[in-house]
A and B are shown apart, each in its own frame.
Chain A
């Protein structure tokens, strides 16, 4: 990797792919983090607490790697989107929590809102400098 700023150049494809890969990995770890925090009962259950800490460090590390290349607005939207969907689905499966149709609908609304918000935020940030 050169230390030149390659964000807007066509030859940064490999860097982009690595960054998006890192972002997806961060999203998966974020799901693990959300479920662990939920399962820890306010950090009174040792095993869930330890896994929360491990996932916390992993998700932040991969997110920060991804955000070196990917715009923070888009990166954060994708990361939190994966986390939200994963937490709802796996919370229902693994932690036996409810996921009703109404809840799913409003969760989908929230995720759509975040995507809209972040894309609008990024449009300005990714405009080439004059």
Chain B
């Protein structure tokens, strides 16, 4: 169940990252509201995931998987090209998460 909580938290964190960038220092009302609402939902699910994961482990997986998600969404929906660096970064992040999982930390 904690993995499901983490994945939901990751999805809303992706929304936070995109909306925060568009909110222009919280001056744009619509994007500010989207940022805050997404952030609240992401935080609630992160806190549920952190009941099981240690903070360092759970938090790192949360932000890094959100970063991976942003790039993948950009490639799928915004037609942004996946270059060598992005694919390498995604592979490194995912190996790190698998490593944590195999080492028993996650």
Q: Which residues of A contact B (CB under 8 A)?
A: 34-35, 37-43, 52, 56, 60-61, 63-65, 67-68, 72, 76-77, 80, 83-84, 87-89, 91-92, 95, 97-100, 102-103, 105-107, 109-121, 123-124
Mostly, the A contact residues are helix
B19 shortest CB reach to chain A, Å = 9
Is B10 part of the contact surface with A, judged by Cβ < 8 Å?
A: no
* B residues neighboring A (CB under 8 Å): 16-17, 20-21, 23-26, 35-36, 39-40, 43-44, 46-48, 50-51, 54-61, 63-64, 66-68, 70-71, 74, 80-81, 83-86, 88-97, 99-100, 103, 105
A67 to B18, CA, bound (A): 11
Q: List chain B residues, Cβ under 8 A from A119.
A: 85, 89
Q: B interface, by DSSP: helix, strand, loop or mixed? A: helix
Is B60 touching A84 in the complex (CB atoms < 8 A)?
yes
| Complex contacts, A35 vs chain B, CB 8 Å | 55
Asked if B90 contacts A113 (CB within 8 A), the reply is yes
Q: Are A42 and B99 closer than 8 Å at their CB atoms?
A: no
